[in-house]
Amino acid sequence: MESVLRYLDWTSVGLALLGGLLSLVLLEIFRFNSFRRRFPPGPKSLPYVGNVMQLFKEPMDLIRSMENYGEMSCLFVGRKPMIVLNKMEIVKEAFVNNGSVFSGRPQVPLLEWVTNGLGIVMAPYGNSWKQQRRFALHTLRDFGLGKKSVEERVAEEARYLVEEMLKHEGKAFFPIHPIMNSVSNIICSIVFGDRFDYEDKRFAHLLKLLNEYVGLPGSMIGQQKAMEESTFHEENMIISTTDLFLAGTDTTATTLRWGLIYMMDHPDVQERCHEEIVRVLGFDRSPCMDDRAQLPYTHATIHEILRCSNIIPIGPPHETTQSTQLHGYHIPAGTQILANSTAIMTDRNHWKHPDVFNPENFLDEKGQFCKNDFFLPFSMGQRVCLGESLARTELFIFFTSLIQRLKFSWPPGEPRPNMNGIMGLVRCPFPYNTICSSRETTH
């Protein structure tokens, strides 16, 4: 062996290894390019890693660029394609007209380890998901969802939130904890029949974990005895409860946090909302959902906050349950499908002011609220947001109550947060401080 090594030309060995490595890379490039041509166009991607670096570095810039490639475009995570739907018409065709084919969920290793494929939000399309979703809807309705009793709970919690914020009156404070506490108290009061105090340290810690996307608290329904082939067992109950608590807290709280930023950035909009609210409700009466018709500008402002905050800018991810065709492309089973709500909710053909915050996007020429068919904050089809009704109630009553009683402004010298936000399960604003002052002295 030593005699062989003595005669080896190490330079030649090195060149041979380098040549072999280059051959493997070139072969991968050839294979990847051949594979890529089967899918819609998209941004340039690298062999082995695809578009992962772009997704990590500047996710919002990448998402905004996707519509430049047409009604359908494609990203790659490694060699795995992700089909992006950039137009409302094609989203409806996939998620509504062919819902059973496009309503799967991709397996995310960490979530799969936590949930074991159970629950509602990330559960695979099938019998278990259908049963749990239907059961959750019926149970939440039994507990008051869609009824006056829930509106009264939200209005009561909004009063607590105003009182909590007034403790910081005139001083800069970080609003995330009181907002998350108030929103989470709604789902807690529906399920547990009680709320948590803002000073409760254990609950505050739970909300901190939730904000860091690792909390696993819960809120849904009591156990039923498990039966063979039944999806109603303790483990599924826990995961479904966790799904409802997470989805029922973080999304609405994040939207309200974005809402305060837009109100501080647009004090004229904030003042116009306040004047309308006080003119209709006075200073003391709590709002209810029936007030929306008399508060068109405020109602439009809430919708504009949802449009601009766009907390799930691409997704949540769907997955094809079988091979299919979509606009001339063959889509294999197990392919991720993403609705580009960023492109849809800034489409210049369907929005009066697509690139700026302006409630006029939801007002007609007479100043009355008008719907826009290209408004897509809750997704659509069989995977439409389970808590849409509750979220709309919370956003309207919380926002209206806050603007009725408080005025929000930036602390002197406070730098504006990067409006691209932080990408996680939802797109959150960067941490910021606000100053609130009571409106009571002006009335």
CATH 1.10.630.10 applies to domain 42-442: yes
pLDDT given for residue 27 in this prediction: 65
**What are the DSSP calls for 53-109, one per residue?**
HHHHH-HHHHHHHGGGG-SEEEEEETTEEEEEE-SHHHHHIIIIITHHHH-B-PPPH
**Which among 345, 329, 346, 348 is positioned nearest to 337, based on CA atoms?**
329
Q: How confident is the model at residue 434 (pLDDT cuts 50, 70, 90)?
A: very high
In the chain, domain spans: 42-442
pLDDT given for residue 118 in this prediction: 74
pLDDT given for residue 137 in this prediction: 80
pTM for the model stands at 0.86
The owner of tokens 């409006």 is 419
Say if CB 420 and CB 150 are below 8 A apart.
no
> Tens digit of pLDDT for each residue in 167-202?
999 999 999 989 988 998 888 777 666 676 767 776
Write the CB contacts of 220 (distance below 8 Å, at least 6 apart in sequence).
Answer: 136, 139, 191, 237, 240, 241, 244
**What are the DSSP calls for 321-380, one per residue?**
SS-EEETTEEE-TT-EEEE-HHHHTT-TTT-SSTTS--GGGGB-TTS-B---TT--SS--
Check residue 415 and report its DSSP letter.
Answer: P
Q: How many CB atoms lie within 10 A of CB 157?
A: 23
Q: How far is CA 430 from CA 95, 264, 299, 332, 418, in A?
A: 32, 15, 25, 38, 7
pLDDT given for residue 212 in this prediction: 58
> Tens digit of pLDDT for each residue in 109-141?
666 666 676 777 777 888 888 888 887 887 777
Strands 336-339 and 80-85: parallel
Q: How many CB atoms lie within 10 A of CB 170?
A: 10
Q: How far is CA 96 from CA 48, 129, 375, 380, 384, in A?
A: 34, 17, 15, 7, 10
Quick one: how far is CA 277 from the chain centroid? Answer: 28
pLDDT given for residue 300 in this prediction: 98
Say if CB 324 and CB 353 are below 8 A apart.
no
Quick one: how far is CA 313 from the chain centroid? Answer: 7
pLDDT given for residue 21 in this prediction: 72
Q: How many CB atoms lie within 10 A of CB 235?
A: 12
Which pair of tokens denotes residue 39?
């899918």
> Tens digit of pLDDT for each residue in 386-418?
888 889 999 999 999 999 999 999 999 988 899
Q: How confident is the model at residue 315 (pLDDT cuts 50, 70, 90)?
A: confident
